[in-house]
Amino acid sequence: MRTKTKILGIETSCDETAAAVVENGNRIISNVVASQIDIHARYGGVVPEVASRQHLLTVIPVIRQAMTGISWQDINGIAVTFGPGLAGSLLVGVNVAKAIALAKNLPLTGVNHLEAHIYANWLAHSAESSLSTGEETVRVNCEVQFPCLCLVVSGGHSDLVLMKGHGQFEKLGRTRDDAAGEAFDKAARILGLGYPGGPAIEHAACSGTPCLPLPRAWLKRSHDFSFSGLKTALWHLAHKGGVSVADAAASFQLAVADVLVAKTIEAAKQLKVEQILLSGGVAANKTLTQQFLANSPVPVIIPPSHLCTDNAAMVAACGYYHFEAGRISGYDLDVAPDLSLG
């Protein structure tokens, strides 16, 4: 009979305070997220000092909620995000995790936030899902097979990574300027749609047509991405006047999706991978996921939307495989705001 290993995950890399307990790297026991969106919306983006202070207020209540009905004697280890992210925010989670590990005599492992996003795909097939269509059910019921190609698209990152096995990553491409999520935020600001930009653009695009001539940065002979020029082109169109906001949002959204999908699929064909794994907040965008499902020659795994955005279940899932490989962190674990993957 397989041993049940429960990991407590803690996530405070940006503006979400989260804690979760995950069993054997794939079964979510609890998953609690306290969002700061309403706090930062008034500023049009995340204010680092405000974010870290809010983490201080909420991290202990969030951990207590995640541990409701669970004995500390049943926890086998603690996994915490130590980078990349906002330094002040990361410090809150790392120091709380070290204190708990010391007090409860539990092993500790530091987790790369980008790697954790990828491990949301290990949770997808076992997580409770509110998805309603048959197509979406197929998306979340697929076991991961190596080698696979991972696209991590979030507010700060657009990374294309080859995953050869657990903990074995080779970075193939990255953003040269704005990440996809950052581009959505800036586009929403240009169009007066508010923050956060991704959901705002997607909502506005529902009533629009992608009919505007926005550019695509293909960056031939490279797996890198670039969205700065697209953002500038949108700014020029918007300031000419006479452009429908809904059409502009739909056109911008499709331009981003076209590049992400085409370049990822091209890399998948070149590398002959078994699957494509999507992760990160932008992976919750329906236009992007529909484009992947319609065009990919290999299976595409996409976590449910609540596991695409920052959460601690993905940190605990990743931490489980760290512990399996014997990767234990000491109490000198420090934050790494600029940490990369691969």
Any domain includes 152? yes
Q: What is the CATH number of the domain that holds 279?
A: 3.30.420.40
State whether 313 and 297 are in the same domain. Answer: no
Q: Is 120 helix (H, G, I), strand (E, B) or coil?
A: helix
- Residue 132 belongs to some domain of the structure: no
Question: What is the C-alpha to C-alpha distance for residues 9 and 247, in angstroms, rounded to an integer?
Answer: 41
- The helix or strand, by DSSP H or E, that contains position 290, with its residue range, turns out to be helix 286-295
Note the pLDDT tens digit of each residue in 203-241. Answer: 999 999 999 999 999 999 999 999 999 999 999 999 998
Looking at the structure, do residues 158 and 250 belong to the same domain, yes or no?
A: yes
pLDDT at position 245 over 50: yes
Structural domain that includes position 198: 141-301
| C-alpha 305, offset from chain centre | 10
Please tell me whether residues 161 and 258 are part of one structural domain.
yes
310 and 13 in contact (C-beta within 8 Å)?
Answer: yes
Same domain, 105 and 172: no
Categorize the per-residue pLDDT at 2 as very low, low, confident or very high, splitting at 50, 70 and 90: low
Residues 169 and 279 in one domain: yes
Q: What is the pLDDT of residue 136?
A: 40
Q: pLDDT class for 3, splitting at 50, 70, 90? A: confident
Domain assignment present for residue 336? The answer is no
Sorted by sequence, the CB contacts under 8 Å of residue 288 that are 6+ apart come out as: 153, 256, 257, 260, 261, 278, 282
289, 163: one domain: yes
Please indicate, yes or no, whether residues 105 and 155 belong to a single structural domain of this protein. no
Reported as a pLDDT band with limits 50, 70 and 90, residue 335 is very high
Report residue 120 as tokens. 């949301």
pLDDT, tens digit (0-9, with 9 covering 90-100), for 88-126: 999 999 999 999 999 999 999 999 999 999 999 999 554
Nearest-angstrom CA–CA distance, 277 and 205: 25
In a domain, 219, yes or no: yes
Tell me whether residue 285 is in a domain.
yes
Residues 177 and 252 reside in one and the same domain: yes
Tell me how far apart the alpha carbons of residues 181 and 252 are, in angstroms, rounded to a whole number.
12
Residue whose structure tokens are 């940006």? 14
- Chain-centroid distance of CA 59 in Å reads 20
Q: How far apart are CA 86 and CA 104, in angstroms?
A: 27
Strands laid side by side in the 300-301 sheet:
168-173, 158-165, 148-153, 275-279, 300-301
Residues 202 and 283 in one domain: yes
**Domain-embedded: residue 332:** no
In a domain, 150, yes or no: yes
Same domain? 93 vs 185: no
Decide if 197 is inside a domain: yes
Say what the pLDDT of residue 81 is.
98
Indicate if the pLDDT at residue 167 is higher than 90: yes
pTM of the complete model:
0.93
Whether the bond between 215 and the residue before it is cis, its omega within 30 degrees of 0, is: no
* Same domain membership, residue 233 and residue 190: yes
**Domain total for the chain?**
2
| CB burial of residue 335 (10 Å; 0-12, 13-18, 19+) | buried
**Percent of the chain's residues with pLDDT above 90:** 92
In a shared domain, residues 218 and 99: no
